[in-house]
Amino acid sequence: MKQLFIALGSAALLSACGGGGSLGGATTTPTPTTAPTAAPTPAPVAPTAQVWNAKLPAAGSSICYDFDLSQQADCASANWDLKLASASRGVSLWSNGGESGAGKGGVFGSPFDYTWEALKKWKNGAIDPVSGAVIPETLYLKDTANSVFTGTNGIQSSAFEYGVGGDNDHKLYPNFRVFLISTDNTAVSNTGTATAPVYALQMTGYYGGASGTVSANPSFRWVDRSVAGAPVRTATVDASKAWVYYNLNTAQAVAANDTWHIAFNRYNVKLNSGTSGAGKVGGFTAKTPAGFYGTDGKAIASKFTENNILASTLPDLTATDLATPGSASAWKKDSITSKLNPAAQGTYPAKLDYGWYNYYSTAEGTIVAHSQVANPNRGTLLRSAEGNSFARLRLKEIGYATPGDIRSQQTWQFEIEVLPNSK
Please identify, among 314, 334, 354, the residue that sits at the C-terminal boundary of a domain.
Answer: 334
Nearest residue to 205 via CA among 289, 285, 300, 304 = 304
Answer yes or no: do 71 and 156 share one domain.
Answer: no
Residue 139: pLDDT band (50, 70, 90) is confident
Under a CB-based contact definition with an 8 Å cutoff, are residues 387 and 358 in contact? no
Answer yes or no: do 152 and 48 share one domain.
Answer: no
Please identify, among 334, 362, 390, the residue that sits at the C-terminal boundary of a domain.
Answer: 334
Answer yes or no: do 164 and 285 share one domain.
Answer: yes
Query: Which residues of 315-377 form beta strands (DSSP E)?
Result: 335-337, 352-353, 357-360, 371-374
- Backbone dihedral region of 118: left (phi > 0), alpha (psi from -120 to 50 degrees) or beta? alpha
Instruction: Please report which helix (H) or strand (E) contains residue 119, including its range.
Output: helix 116-119
What is the rounded distance in angstroms from the CA atom of residue 245 to the CA atom of residue 266? 12
CA distances (Å), origin 132, targets 168, 174, 181: 11, 27, 41
pLDDT given for residue 246 in this prediction: 98
Dihedral Cα 392, 394, 396, 401, nearest 10 deg? 110
Answer yes or no: do 247 and 276 share one domain.
Answer: yes
What is the rounded distance in angstroms from the CA atom of residue 90 to the CA atom of residue 126? 32
Per-residue pLDDT of 201-243, as tens digits, reads 999 999 999 999 999 999 999 999 999 999 999 999 999 999 9
Sign (positive or negative) of CA dihedral 297, 298, 302, 307: positive
Answer yes or no: do 134 and 59 share one domain.
Answer: yes
Answer yes or no: do 195 and 289 share one domain.
Answer: yes
Under a CB-based contact definition with an 8 Å cutoff, are residues 272 and 281 in contact? yes
Residue 8: pLDDT band (50, 70, 90) is very low
Q: Is residue 23 part of a domain?
A: no
Please identify, among 299, 334, 369, the residue that sits at the C-terminal boundary of a domain.
Answer: 334
pLDDT value at 290 more than 70: yes
Instruction: Find the range with the poorest average confidence among 5-19, 115-129, 304-318.
Output: 5-19
Answer yes or no: do 129 and 156 share one domain.
Answer: no
Q: Is residue 18 part of a domain?
A: no
Determine what percent of the chain falls in helix, strand and coil, rounding each to the nearest 5: 5, 35, 60
Q: Is residue 4 part of a domain?
A: no
Nearest residue to 125 via CA among 151, 104, 152 = 104
Q: Order of strands across the sheet with 371-374?
A: 352-353, 357-360, 371-374
Q: Is residue 11 part of a domain?
A: no
Our count of domains for the chain comes to 2
pLDDT value at 6 more than 60: no
Nearest residue to 208 via CA among 217, 197, 199 = 217
Instruction: Please report which helix (H) or strand (E) contains residue 315, including its range.
Output: helix 309-318
pLDDT given for residue 281 in this prediction: 98
Dihedral Cα 145, 147, 152, 153, nearest 10 deg? -70
**Amino acid identity, position 366:** T
Answer yes or no: do 293 and 152 share one domain.
Answer: yes
What is the rounded distance in angstroms from the CA atom of residue 283 to the CA atom of residue 294? 25
Q: Is residue 37 part of a domain?
A: no
Answer yes or no: do 204 and 300 share one domain.
Answer: yes
Residue 421: pLDDT band (50, 70, 90) is low
pTM summary value: 0.66
Q: Name the percent of the chain lying above pLDDT 90.
A: 78
pLDDT given for residue 279 in this prediction: 96
Q: Is residue 33 part of a domain?
A: no
pLDDT value at 47 more than 70: no
Task: Give, in degrees to the nearest 5, the angle at Cα 155 between 111 and 252.
Answer: 145
pLDDT given for residue 197 in this prediction: 98
pLDDT value at 5 more than 60: no
Question: Average pLDDT of 128-133?
Answer: 90
Q: Is residue 14 part of a domain?
A: no
Instruction: Please report which helix (H) or strand (E) contains residue 247, including its range.
Output: strand 244-247
Residue 292: pLDDT band (50, 70, 90) is very high
What is the rounded distance in angstroms from the CA atom of residue 49 to the CA atom of residue 99? 29
Answer yes or no: do 343 and 330 share one domain.
Answer: no
Nearest residue to 140 via CA among 173, 106, 110 = 106
Question: Average pLDDT of 291-308?
Answer: 95
Q: What is the DSSP letter of 311?
A: H
Residue 366: pLDDT band (50, 70, 90) is very high
Answer yes or no: do 160 and 291 share one domain.
Answer: yes
Residue 152: pLDDT band (50, 70, 90) is confident
Answer yes or no: do 139 and 153 share one domain.
Answer: no
Q: How many Cβ atoms are within 10 Å of 9's Cβ, its own excluded? A: 6
Q: Is residue 180 part of a domain?
A: yes
Q: What is the mean pLDDT of the chain?
A: 88
Per-residue pLDDT of 242-286, as tens digits, reads 999 999 999 999 999 999 999 999 999 999 999 999 999 999 999
Q: Structural domain of residue 386, as residue ranges?
A: 43-143+338-423
pLDDT value at 363 more than 80: yes
